[in-house]
Structure 1
């Protein structure tokens, strides 16, 4: 165990080289800059660039976080999906303020988004659910996320049974499946520098427009 602890302590970070970030030539809306950075991530072979950490708080105000994928991004916000009966769904219902974090280590870039998660209408949620893979839909339809399981075989059998049902009824939809849109209030773009003099540009929502400010690293 001491050997692995030594590896952790000696692990290198922010090796680079990293793409340039010209803060003097950035979009007026963070949505546009996010898409620019997302394309750079794709061009540089970042694995699963659509993965992000969604942070919420529980009823006691304690933070919680997990990795999800974004489903879409537009000028209105960032979209993700989950059951409204899951732990994160219940937490969002209690406190819709969330944070989303993207980290693309290969290019030394991080995007932090803070805002409010808003439920989309039922038709949109239904269409999102039906676009999921068969196994993913089968698991969701079980309605057991985060509940205690005695043995893995229980899940394997339950999923097989649910998939058989889906073969007969392919348009079954889990009623609690929800597509959320995070309406951003703040969006920060962080660019690592090998000399550790990192660049931070933050957008602040101000009524009908966005303000941009540089922050100290």
Structure 2
């Protein structure tokens, strides 16, 4: 433990260089700024820039979080997918309030989105499911996510059979698969600075209008 703590103290952070960000010249809608930052992340070579942390609340009122993939975004919100019978699916059913967090360390940028999740229509959910790879569809169709796995051999055997079924019936859709849209009430953009003079810009919805505010680092 002591060696680990020494190692932690030796690690550097926010080394840069980072792209410039001028909060005086920004769009009125946070969705537009997010797209600008997202494209910058891609051009800068950020690995898996579409990875994000989805935070939910469980039945005990405790926070829960996991990393998944941003499926799409538009002027209405950010989209992700999950089985409605999964742990996070059940949490979303009980409490639709969520947060999404993106962190692109290579460019020293973070985006935090707070809002409400909503299941989109069946047609879009089915389309999203069929766009998954064979293995991804097969694992989802097993319907065992987060359940206790007594032996890894059971997974391998079950998966082989399920993949064969997917190949035989490529149009099969998991009835529990859902595409979710997150409508934001707050979006915070954080630009890191090597001297810790970070720039924090908050968009918050008030009376159906976006209010923009700078926050202290």
* TM-score (normalizing by structure 2): 0.98
Query: Which residue number corresponds to residue 74 of structure 2?
Result: 74
After superposition, what is the alpha-carbon deviation per residue over 1:111-159, rounded to whole angstroms, capped at 9, x for unaligned?
0000000000111100000000000000000000000001111111111
Q: CA deviation at 1:89?
A: 0.4
Deviation at 1:5, TM superposition (A): 2.7
Q: Does the Cα contact within 8 Å between 2:134 and 2:167 map onto a contact in 1? A: no
Partner of 2:110: 110
The CA distance in 1 between the partners of 2:24 and 2:11, in whole Å, is 33
For 1:207 and 1:183, locate their aligned partners in 2 and report how far apart those are by CA, in whole Å. 15
Partners of 1:44 and 1:3 lie apart in 2 by 34
- Taking the aligned partners of 2:150 and 2:174, their CA distance within structure 1 comes to 24
Q: Aligned-pair distance for 1:186?
A: 0.2
Match of 1:159 in 2: 159
Q: CA offsets, 1:16-56, max 9 Å, x none? A: 11100000000100000000000110111000000000000
Matches within 5 A, 1:134-153: 134-153=134-153
Shift of 1:208: 2.8
CA distance in 1, matches of 2:43, 2:6: 34
Residue pairs, 1:1-217, within 5 angstroms = 1-217=1-217
Displaced runs of 4+ in structure 1, greater than 3 A? none
- Where does structure 1 lack aligned partners over 5 or more consecutive residues? none
Give the SS at the match of 1:149: coil
* Matched-pair contact (CA < 8 Å) for 2:98–2:117: yes
Partner SS state of residue 12, structure 1: coil
Structure 2: distance between partners of 1:116 and 1:207: 16
Secondary structure, in 3 states, of the residue corresponding to 1:180?
strand
Asked whether the equivalents of residues 188 and 202 of structure 2 are also in contact (C-alpha less than 8 Å), the reply is yes
Q: Distance in 1 between matches of 2:22 and 2:167?
A: 52
In 2, the alpha carbon distance for the partners of 1:152 and 1:202 equals 46
CA RMSD of the aligned region, Å? 0.8
Is the partner of 1:102 in helix, strand or coil?
strand
What is the distance in 1 between the residues matched to 2:12 and 2:72? 33
Q: For residues 15 and 151 of structure 1, what CA distance do their matches in structure 2 show?
A: 44
Number of residue-to-residue matches in the alignment? 217
Counterpart Cα distance in 1 of 2:26 and 2:135:
41
Residue 195 of structure 1 aligns to a residue whose secondary structure is coil
